[in-house]
Structure 1
Amino acid sequence: MILTNAKIVLSNEVINGSLHINRGCIEAIDSGGVSLPGAVDCEGGYLMPGMVELHTDNMEKHFTPRPGVAWPGMQAFKVHDAQMISAGITTVFDAISVGDVVEGSERLNNLSRMADALHASRDRGLTRADHLLHLRCEVSHQDTLHNFRTLLESHPPQLVSIMDHSPGQRQFANIDKYRQYYQGKYKMSDSEMEAFIVRQSEASNLYSTDYRRAIADICLGLGIPLASHDDATLEHVTESLEHGMVIAEFPTTEVSAREAHRHGMAVLMGAPNVVRGGSHSGNVAAHSLASEGLLDVLSSDYYPASLLDAAFKLAADERNGYDLAAATRLVSQRPALAAGLEDRGEIAIGKRADLVWYEGLEDHAHIKHVWKDGGRVF
């Protein structure tokens, strides 16, 4: 297959040219167009590498589309897969939560259903994107370590992150933001909310330190990449480094992001943070880290279409120093390398032909087609 008349986004520049694809890989990159029969005319649009998503919980909403409604696993997963590929995301680390902040939640009930559906869909060749498993370990929950060990046997993950969403620290250092978020989410009265805060704080004190260490030790022994989550202080980053973590997910302050970046951790921030112009929790804004050169990876988190729009928006903002090639690396090459995937994430000879053809509009990028391993999937 030949794709021609395209603005090709390479790792360090954008060229006008053509791509030659053979057996699912990029065989040649040429400047200028070609007029061979059967060549796909990209009409002067942009051709970028398929995006790599390290942390999305998008799958959960399809398994429980309404409270109390459990949708059949295979069908739910296929809708999630279609949504990711239509957003230009060709490699997905599906993040499912091991442990939660409440007992008996739908998230916990869906844990094995989601892992089963991911593996069954992948094994049967029913996915358009390449789906990998990311276990998000809520270490302040009493069952997390047991559930993690159980899943490790049945569904080994390709990425693990360790988090603690208890009040007064990390994402919710501002206790008023914690009240606003969880009281709104679970419709608790003021007295119920205060009791909830006490329970969550006690659970964190009981389990977090031991579970964090145990899970990190298991992952290091198995060679599974580790990510920290919501580091807020220098002490948090030091702890993450001691546990061998290579990705810093959603640091909440510039201080922690700078320290993680200085030590070579890949600093990951949410693409919705960029699109919205700030954090919904009142923490550091992604564009602020970008302007300081501290942003390494973007994640769509809860909104798949935000990934390309965020890169497009950063590239258009002259204040942060990210041209289109650099902004594209945040959603392709850099997340791939952070997760140890060296066969994808950039348009280069020998790499997988995971590609996105999009048209640059004034305020966003409009996707025309997506290819996975050289085959058109959207």
Structure 2
Amino acid sequence: MSQTSDVILQRMTSLHPKIIDLTLDRMWRLLEALGNPQDKLPPVVHIAGTNGKGSTQAMLRAGLEAGGKVVHAYTSPHLARFHERIRLAGELITEDALTEVLDRCYEANGGEEITYFEITTCAGILAMSEVPADYTLLEVGLGGRLDATNVVAKPALTVITSVDYDHQQYLGDTLEAIAGEKAGILKRGVPCVVGRQHEEALEVIEAKAARLGAPLLALGQHWQVSEERGRLVYQDDHGLLDLPRPVLPGPHQIDNAGGVIAGLRYLGFGETECEAAMTQAEWPARMQRMTSGSLVDLAGTCELWLDGGHNPAAGEAMAGTLSAMAKKPTHMICGMLSTKDVKGYLRPLARHGDSLTAFEIPDETATLPAAVTATEARAVGFAEVTEAPDIRSAIRNIAEAHPGSRILICGSLYLAGHVIRENLA
């Protein structure tokens, strides 16, 4: 009997180096053994940034597909199933196709050390190189310069969404250092769409672009975007667009949408595709209203929302989203990883949450103990803080004590994946 993708993925974890050194050497070795599939991809749009990468990819895909284009997409991490990471010609990769490319990558690697993300990225690239499409959307996993996706010599376009603090242990502890890593996806002569940036981050990106002769399409310089009377207004040298507001919730999506429109217009698409990017994008676990499933049933008369943001900028974005929503008592359920800036994430949310229930993310070795999350929540100003042993208990307790309120589950994409799986149970 052939092995399932889950079995092969588990086997791949044994190849992981004892010490993670950020390098592309392992990628180049395996790609060479696979026949350099990165050189055979349909035209690539490469997307980096701290927050907004996934939303940007989702809107770009919606716009391109509305224009009749066939689109591959690669993203990480997955929420419920690994297959979500690889979208071939518009559809999630099948179990048979995934098993086949994972097997080929495992064999070609020959037992050498390689990280889980590197070997699975090679599998995604291999799969996408062998299925015809018009575009490939590649989302960076971490950083940019030494990220496993940064192996395409000449993308059609690069995108850098907002740069902020995250993964400092790998990318550096200043915005300039982090921006330098993100700017590593810039390629000589390839235009780059640049979203809203702190001044010090933008200076680093501009300097790198100047050295490479990479034209920038930057917010505030080459295009403007704003929300006016519930509509999105975009303007650049080609004129003004008056479009529906993005269906992805939150004020921060206005900037992400502007970058998407800039990219679509550069690629030669018009108002129809730009409107579809606003109205047809889907991106789960980004301020997602859950409408059916066992957890929704458990919530009773409460609204159930899910968000996978996990760094200070994501906390700010979610606070902005909550400010723009109808006023309603909001009770948060939070689980985070120990590698994250918990205080930085929770601080902007404290003024929006009537309570916070802390719990540990199941089956995650790096989960933060519930007691620590609770302590940090109190420290930043949450008035009512409790702990729960699991997600169902947390939801049940809030639903019984505060019927008709808003329940927001947040703090980690790994938590979001757990919630999505539980909701299907």
TM-score (norm 1): 0.31
Whichever structure has more strand as a proportion of its residues is 1
Higher share in helix: 2
